[in-house]
Chain A
Amino acid sequence: MKLDLALIIALASVAPSTASAFCGFFVGKAGAELYNSASQVVIVHDDGKTVLTMVNDFKGDLEDFALVVPVPIVLEKDVVRVADMAATDHLDAYSAPRLAEYHDPNPCAVNRLEKSMMRRSAPSAPAANGMMLDAEDASQVRVEASYTIGEYDVVILSSTESNALEKWLRANRYNIPAGAARALRPYVRSGMKFFVAKVNLDEMTKGGFQKLRPLQFAFPDPRFMLPVRLGMLNAAGPQDLIAYVITKEHRVEPANYRSVKMPSDVHVPTFVRDDFPNVYRAVFEHEVDKAQGRAVFTEYAWNMAWCDPCAADPLSSQELEELGVWWLQASLGSTGMQRRKPGGPVQAYVTRLHARYTEATFPEDLMMKTTRDTSNHQVRYVLQNPYLQPVQCDAAESYVAGVKARREEEIAQLAALTGWDRTSIRNRMTPLPPHFEVGPAPERQDFLDRIRDWFAE
């Protein structure tokens, strides 16, 4: 049994989807599936209580899967359950960075077109070894509870000494990475308990499950933090964490790291449509570099009642309850679709935080803080397709000039977003048809012409 000390290693596979929206047409999104070692966790938090859902999209041998999470109290069986993967997938899809596409009408008439597309990528796994437990070590570790939930065997451990805890885990055939005792020490000394889960293969077979389902548990949580430090133990390189934090009505931000909103509402060249996941990954990496890795990025912050444009429909109240949103029962009807737009906010606000962390850049666990901010933020990039058919009218000339100027602006924007050089971006762009070449040169010329015309009048 190998112990994966990472919070989780997960890659949700989001199905390609499209949805029409009030403003623009949604054509693509870059969900959690595109990062190689990404953990996904849903945190439902209010009034000092938390429901944590950990997505376990573990791709290795199931015998090797296990999970350790420090928790403030002994979790009894009735506060632990297995959640439905579909709800977390839906949450990922709903909050993912998105691409909105528009088409220029015929500058000489009014005419509309619409289009769509999508994409995805791959996973990772942990390491191993073993050791004996002596009587003294055994006395320093207590099994506070032990039960089977769905396909998981769960033990709740308490310990007074981190080395003893490490030895206990090894003796019980959890193969943990070197340095585990050191990483576990602050939690042991703070009196925290350990939620340890592994896969019960018999139950897995009996239930006929193809994939591990998310584990969910509830606990009083005055700390409101994520123990990201544990996830670094068996990490070869930087780790990605995507945390979906659901509160009643306010945005959540990191308390001990800088919070950065991912750039949004930028016009980018139309080739991005076919390569959006890679482009967004480059944007994210560029932002991480700019912040020297020492920031947590907000990719989405929105009241769950609506979205615009929607990367996926908002979650229904059943799905929110599936994720542990306990305060909704009384206040809502049952169908989520009724709650879309403008009918007023719903008591569920989701903040999607994305961090890429290493041992050096994140020396402390991620502490969170609920702000009083109710404003919205999403990562939305815009494609504007030019009208390419030859046209003849007074407006045509200035339209051609405008399109050329716009393409230059899109190149500049994408270069600023990703750090790519302009020539390589320009080379990827589809050339304009020949009739665009005869028009006047863009921008300045156009501006000077207008001045001349103005003086001439």
Chain B
Amino acid sequence: MTTSTLERLPARSATLAPRRPLRAFLDDPRRPQLAILLALLAYGTLHLDFVLSPWAIPLTLIVAHLMETLIPRGPWHLCKVGCGFWGRSLAPGWSGWVSGVSTLLLFRSESAWPYVVVVVLALGSKRILRVRGRHFVNPTNGAVVVGSLVLPGWIASGQWGHGVLLPFIMASGGLLVLTRAARIDTALSFLLGTAAFLALRNLAFGHPWPTLAHAFTSGTLWLFALYMITDPKTTPQARPARVAHGLWVAGLAIALQQLFFVRDAFLWALFASAPLVPLLDHFTAPRPKGDDS
């Protein structure tokens, strides 16, 4: 759910001359990510009773694709001569698709148009809310949270249920994506933080221990930990800062949930913590070579 932009890391692919198709597929972590998210969407829609109007899926994905491809990111990015649908215009659309599918997984509405608004908000915020050339609000997270306030829609956090198999599948797929995107540290610190803070909460308030297992069999938690909070663009650049960020989001979410009875607390915690990312980067990010500032 790393919304949009699992940073494109295709540099290594250019050096490997004849590549095997699987290898080529995996080179950009957004592709396996998208494949997993699409599979989850299919599973949810067909098997888990998702409230999802049939028009929402194609509309959201088309708008997401158009937002990513047709709106120029800068004058240099305008489609030049020879730009084919698959060649130039689909490839840059991966992040748009990831945002679109993520929206369809998280957000719920009776009609199709709110999904479209959410995806426009997501991909638009990426262009607008920027600090030193990086967007810092996780686009899908921000758009879904704001959308649930202002649009006729809601966030369906209980929809994945509590089993063992689904989190396992999400986890294995997530690991694959994250190891390639090098953001496993965020996921781990968030998950360990969640376990630790929930344990503290249980000690403080006397909740029974099975609540811990209940939390960790939640498909929603794993989806958030592995596909959303780990978005490379909106996590701090230095590893210690990423670990701190993961722990902070976990702690804030549990505090919001326990003390203020906030539903979907993880999403709100991540959204509220977005300004921390440029701040942490300011103090900890490795400076690019030649940057003396």
Q: What is the interface of chain A, defined by CB distance below 8 A to chain B?
A: 162, 182, 185-186, 188-190, 222-225, 229, 253-261, 291-292, 294-295, 360, 363-364, 367, 369-375
CB-based nearest A residue for B154: A371
Q: Which of B151, B208, B213 has the most CB of A within 10 A?
A: B208
Instruction: Enumerate chain B residues within 8 angstroms of A229, measured Cβ to Cβ.
Output: 208
Instruction: Enumerate chain B residues within 8 angstroms of A292, measured Cβ to Cβ.
Output: 163
B110 and A360: CB pair below 8 A?
Answer: no
Known: A257-B161, A295-B161. 7 other contacts (CB 8 A): A162-B206, A182-B208, A186-B206, A223-B261, A294-B161, A372-B109, A373-B154
In the complex, which residues 57-104 of chain B have their Cβ closer than 8 Å to any Cβ of chain A?
A: none
Instruction: Enumerate chain A residues within 8 angstroms of B180, measured Cβ to Cβ.
Output: none
CB-based nearest A residue for B148: A372
B162 and A189: CB pair below 8 A?
Answer: no
Give the distance to chain A from B266, nearest Cβ to Cβ, in Å.
Answer: 12
8 Å CB contact of A363 from B159, B160, B210: B210
B162 and A294: CB pair below 8 A?
Answer: yes
Q: Give the complex CA separation of A243 and B169 in angstroms.
A: 34
Q: Give the complex CA separation of A143 and B190 in angstroms.
A: 43
Q: Give the complex CA separation of A392 and B44 in angstroms.
A: 50
Give the distance to chain B from A54, nearest Cβ to Cβ, in Å.
Answer: 21
B205 at the A interface (CB under 8 A):
yes
B140 at the A interface (CB under 8 A):
no
Instruction: Enumerate chain A residues within 8 angstroms of B283, measured Cβ to Cβ.
Output: none
* Size of B's binding interface in residues, CB under 8 A: 31
In the complex, which residues 244-278 of chain B have their Cβ closer than 8 Å to any Cβ of chain A?
A: 260-261, 263-264
A371 touching B160 in the complex, CB below 8 Å, given contacts A222-B260, A259-B49: no
Instruction: Enumerate chain B residues within 8 angstroms of A258, measured Cβ to Cβ.
Output: 48, 158-162
A363 and B213: CB pair below 8 A?
Answer: yes
B152 at the A interface (CB under 8 A):
yes
8 Å CB contact of B210 from A259, A360, A374: A360
A189 touching B263 in the complex, CB below 8 Å, given contacts A255-B157, A363-B210, A373-B51: no
8 Å CB contact of A374 from B110, B214, B264: B110
Instruction: Enumerate chain B residues within 8 angstroms of A372, measured Cβ to Cβ.
Output: 109-110, 151-154
Q: Give the complex CA separation of A374 and B208 in angstroms.
A: 36
Q: Chain B: interface secondary structure?
A: loop
Q: Give the complex CA separation of A26 and B246 in angstroms.
A: 56
In the complex, which residues 184-236 of chain B have their Cβ closer than 8 Å to any Cβ of chain A?
A: 204-208, 210-211, 213-214
Give the distance to chain B from A187, nearest Cβ to Cβ, in Å.
Answer: 9
Q: Give the complex CA separation of A253 and B51 in angstroms.
A: 12
B207 and A186: CB pair below 8 A?
Answer: yes
CB-based nearest A residue for B152: A372
A222 touching B158 in the complex, CB below 8 Å, given contacts A186-B205, A186-B207, A189-B206: no
Instruction: Enumerate chain A residues within 8 angstroms of B204, measured Cβ to Cβ.
Output: 189
B154 and A369: CB pair below 8 A?
Answer: yes
CB-based nearest B residue for A261: B49
8 Å CB contact of B263 from A162, A363, A369: A369
Q: Give the complex CA separation of A373 and B208 in angstroms.
A: 33
B183 at the A interface (CB under 8 A):
no
B205 and A259: CB pair below 8 A?
Answer: no
B108 at the A interface (CB under 8 A):
yes
B263 and A371: CB pair below 8 A?
Answer: no
- Of all A-B residue pairs in the complex, the 3 with the closest CB atoms, nearest first, are A185-B206, A258-B161, A363-B210
Instruction: Enumerate chain A residues within 8 angstroms of B206, measured Cβ to Cβ.
Output: 162, 182, 185-186, 188-189
Q: Give the complex CA separation of A374 and B110 in angstroms.
A: 8
B158 and A253: CB pair below 8 A?
Answer: yes
Instruction: Enumerate chain B residues within 8 angstroms of A371, measured Cβ to Cβ.
Output: 108, 154, 156
Instruction: Enumerate chain A residues within 8 angstroms of B156, measured Cβ to Cβ.
Output: 253, 259, 371
Instruction: Enumerate chain A residues within 8 angstroms of B210, measured Cβ to Cβ.
Output: 360, 363
8 Å CB contact of B159 from A186, A188, A259, A291: A259
Q: Give the complex CA separation of A185 and B206 in angstroms.
A: 6
Give the distance to chain B from A159, nearest Cβ to Cβ, in Å.
Answer: 13
Q: Give the complex CA separation of A364 and B209 in angstroms.
A: 10
Instruction: Enumerate chain B residues within 8 angstroms of A182, measured Cβ to Cβ.
Output: 206, 208
A291 and B158: CB pair below 8 A?
Answer: no
